[in-house]
Amino acid sequence: MMVKSPAGRRLGTFCWGWPGPRIAADKLFYQEGEANMEKPAVSPSTGKASRWTARRLASLAMLIALSTVGANLKIPSITGTPAFDSFPGFLGALILGPADGALIAALGHLLTAFTAGFPLTLPIHLVIAAGMAAVVALFALFYRFSSWLGLAAGIALNGLLLPALFIPLPGFGKAFFLAMVVPLLIASALNIVLAATAFTSLRRVFPASYAAGRGKGEGK
């Protein structure tokens, strides 16, 4: 029996009990399927290629789901919100780009706040989610120039700048900052270092990722 790929290419004659052609066919099917996942969909109205490839959507869904898991891994604090929810956001920013990472990080914080009962009220947590999104986007931009610069900037922005913004607000002040700065610095360092470590291991899987495309014009 002749084995053909979806494109109609001949792979060889299949003989029962001899797995060679079957392995070749499976390999070709996988390669063609992977290539199709990378092909951007073309909008019928504009005729332009969409950035929403199957792989990108799958990566977003996986990282958002991972944020849900991380939201339940808390780091002790007075609010109960520092957790491992931002790790997928930082990782997503390196793989998919600043915008996608920002989306994942914002949703991750809201998930964590939800599991803690929104201790600072929903409006405040929406502001924090927006701040997290900005921090993750800046982290990816800095990391693209230097990994060490990205790590330092991410930890400083998330662990120091964000809680410092609450000092002038009524009901927060310096007491809130001093109570939260240590847990946030620890959480920031753990999440960011974990994301950078995971990204280093996954660079071969995502060769055209945002951070891996540094200097090559890839991953934008």
Do residues 116 and 23 share a domain? no
- CA separation for the pair 80, 133 (Å, rounded): 20
Number of domains in the chain: 2
- CA separation for the pair 128, 95 (Å, rounded): 23
Within a domain: residue 183?
A: yes
Confidence check: pLDDT of 21 > 70 = no
Within a domain: residue 214?
A: no
Within a domain: residue 159?
A: yes
Which CATH number does the domain housing residue 114 bear? 1.10.1760.20
Average pLDDT for the chain: 80
Within a domain: residue 218?
A: no
Within a domain: residue 210?
A: no
Q: Which residues pair with 13 in a beta bridge?
A: 2
Q: Is 4 helix (H, G, I), strand (E, B) or coil?
A: strand
Residues in the chain, overall count: 220
Do residues 33 and 72 share a domain? no
pLDDT digits (tens, 9 = 90+) for 145-172: 999 999 999 999 999 999 999 999 888 8
pLDDT above 70 coverage of the chain, percent: 74
Q: Is 18 helix (H, G, I), strand (E, B) or coil?
A: strand
Q: Which domain holds residue 183?
A: 56-202
pLDDT digits (tens, 9 = 90+) for 180-218: 899 999 999 999 999 999 999 988 887 888 888 765 445
Do residues 196 and 165 share a domain? yes
Do residues 114 and 195 share a domain? yes
Return the pLDDT at 162.
Answer: 92
Q: How far apart are the first and last CA of the chain?
A: 45
